[in-house]
Amino acid sequence: MSAPVLHGYWRSSAAYRVRIALNLKGVVYDQVAHDLRHGEQRAAEYLAIAPHGLVPALEVDGRVLIESPAIIEWIDTRWPTPALLPADPDAAATVRAMAAIIACDIHPLCNLRVLRTLKAMGHSQDEIDHWVRRWIGDGFAALEQMVARHGRGFCFGDTPTAADCHLVPQLYNADRFALDLTPYPALVAAGAAARALPAIAAAHPDLQPDADRQ
């Protein structure tokens, strides 16, 4: 297998999730950046790769995988160790649910397309920031209970899972929008444990080749 190629953007939380998963598996991969601020994800060349015009996309030996949850599960199947989903079906369902709170409940309401639409509708930056904090806070309130119940250092159990792949980027976004994290001590602790791992630390947006250097 040739080195996978990850199409992303340094500050995309969905691409951040996939970087974490690849790094935890020790997979060597290349990156191609598409600056979302300038609409590069809608260029014809990229749409020929990923018709939905979103990042991330992962190219592997002529195949293209899209949507970060599907990519992460494919990575976990292709490189089984260390596992990102528990072997027990009930436990795996819980991890998937934790990840889905972020990927399905929080992220679709707070991604760049939505925020730009809100701005085009005349909402102020303060209103937009309030919107983002509201939806992250709602999701975190539910996730806090699950991590407090199932976590033993990480989101689920004592090793990082797909849930942590999702949580770390969402905590990064929460910091960007100045969300008060005081009500979420279990999430904060799990995030700190995850970010302390070198593989996860290396996935941080500021360390990516296309990161702003201002």
Per-residue pLDDT tens digits for 33-81: 999 999 999 999 999 999 999 999 999 999 999 999 999 999 999 999 9
Q: What is the pLDDT of residue 1?
A: 76
Q: What is the pLDDT of residue 145?
A: 98
Say whether pLDDT at 214 is over 50: no
The backbone torsions φ and ψ at residue 59, rounded to the nearest 5 degrees and listed phi first, read -95, 125
Say whether pLDDT at 125 is over 50: yes
Look at residues 182, 185, 179, 175 and name the one whose alpha carbon lies nearest to residue 131: 179
pTM reported for the whole predicted model: 0.97
| Fold of the domain built from segment(s) 89-199 | Glutathione S-transferase Yfyf (Class Pi); Chain A, domain 2 (1.20.1050)
Could you tell me what percent of the chain has a pLDDT over 90? 98
Residue 166 CB partners (closer than 8 Å, separation 6+): 17, 98, 99, 102, 103
Look at residues 91, 87, 92, 50 and name the one whose alpha carbon lies nearest to residue 71: 50
The backbone torsions φ and ψ at residue 7, rounded to the nearest 5 degrees and listed phi first, read -90, 125
Which of helix, strand or coil describes residue 111? Answer: coil
Contact 178, 134 (CB under 8 A): no
Please name the residue ranges forming H helices in the chain: 13-25, 44-47, 68-78, 89-100, 107-110, 112-120, 125-150, 162-176, 185-195, 198-201
Q: What is the pLDDT of residue 39?
A: 94
Contact 92, 85 (CB under 8 A): yes
Domain ranges of the chain: 5-82, 89-199
Say whether pLDDT at 155 is over 90: yes
Mean per-residue pLDDT of the chain? 97
- pLDDT mean over 20-37: 97
- pLDDT mean over 118-142: 98
Question: How many CB atoms are closer than 10 A to CB 60?
Answer: 18
Look at residues 149, 55, 145, 165 and name the one whose alpha carbon lies nearest to residue 100: 165
CA-CA distance, 66 to 51, in Å (whole number)?
A: 9
- pLDDT mean over 153-182: 98
Residue 91 corresponds to which tokens in the numbers above?
A: 């436990």
Q: Which CATH architecture has domain 5-82?
A: 3-Layer(aba) Sandwich (3.40)
